[in-house]
Amino acid sequence: MIQMRHITKVYEKGIQALNDINVEIGRGEMVFITGPSGAGKTTFLKLIYAETKPTSGLLFVGGKNVSSLASRDVPYLRRRIGVVYQDFKLLYQKTVFENIAFALRVISLPSAEIYKRTIKVLNIVELTHKKDAFPHQLSGGEQQRVAIARAIVNDPVLILADEPTGNLDAGMAANIMNFFMETNHQGTTVIVATHNKEKALKMGTHVIHVDSGQIVG
Ligand SMILES: Nc1ncnc2c1ncn2[C@@H]1O[C@H](COP(=O)(O)OP(=O)(O)O)[C@@H](O)[C@H]1O
Ligand SMILES: [Mg+2]
């Protein structure tokens, strides 16, 4: 599903976020990217959904060369990827329901289908009762759950989740991780970035540990 060959990312002012990363993530894998704050986890995910381009190296996602993807092809790539952003990126003028349904409206589904699918994911994150609220009326944890619901509503083949349980209490965090595991068992590739190495190791799946932009085991 994902191949990184000698991927290096240097931001402006010479800040090196990733340094010569070589990674292979297979279709249907569940992978944790762990590492301390500033290690390069978010950059790793941003490269995969083409939010930013590698400075050098080759990156393939689903067989597509993302390192040289034209901007007009980025929306097509993203259509098959569900991203839970570290900072949520909710639309603050829209209700919870509309934040989630939006992803389905752009692919022109019939409204009955949009309603059905949106309610289904609201149920998964236990937020049906907040469907008409606006993001600023929600707690950080609730906003994070909206971000998760939006990422999964499209049935993506690849889920990229950046610290998706960072604002959740232990019970809800476990529910969300279980949901990702179940989705993964149904064939979806799931990549979760977390600074919690112990938790990742406990899940017993593929763990990639990064520190200062390099893979350290
Ligand atoms: N847009 C940016 N411009 C400049 N430096 C950045 C940018 N984004 C991240 N960085 C730097 O790159 C490094 C890795 O950041 P990041 O990928 O966000 O790490 P993590 O998600 O593991 O905390 C850090 O030193 C960070 O300050
Ligand atoms: Mg991060």
Distance (Å) from CA 176 to ligand 1 centroid: 26
* 131, 145 Cβ separation under 8 angstroms: no
Amino acid at 32: F
User: CA separation (Å) from 41 to 76, 124, 214?
Assistant: 23, 26, 10
Residue whose CA is at the smallest distance from ligand 1 atom 10: 17
Nearest ligand to the C-alpha of residue 38? 1
Distance (Å) from CA 16 to ligand 1 centroid: 8
**CB proximity list for 129: less than 8 A, separation 6 or greater:** none
Distance (Å) from CA 41 to ligand 2 centroid: 5
pLDDT at residue 71, as a whole number: 92
Nearest ligand to the C-alpha of residue 85? 2
Ligand 1 neighbourhood includes 41 CB (under 6 angstroms): yes
Q: How confident is the prediction along the chain (217 residues), in pLDDT tens digits per residue?
A: 999 999 999 999 999 999 999 999 999 999 999 999 999 999 999 999 999 999 999 999 999 999 989 999 999 899 999 999 999 999 999 999 999 999 899 888 999 999 999 999 999 999 999 999 999 999 999 999 999 999 999 999 999 999 999 888 998 888 889 889 999 999 999 999 998 888 888 877 899 999 999 999 7
pTM: 0.94
- Characterize 162-175 residue by residue with b for buried, 16 or more Cβ atoms within 10 angstroms of its Cβ, and e for exposed: bbbbebbeeebbeb
Ligand 1: atom nearest CA of 35 is: 22
Nearest ligand to the C-alpha of residue 86? 2
Amino acid at 41: K
Sheet containing 2-10: order of strands: 16-25, 2-10, 56-61, 64-65
pLDDT at residue 197, as a whole number: 83
Ligand 1 neighbourhood includes 17 CB (under 6 angstroms): yes
Ligand 1 neighbourhood includes 143 CB (under 6 angstroms): no
Residue whose CA is at the smallest distance from ligand 1 atom 18: 42
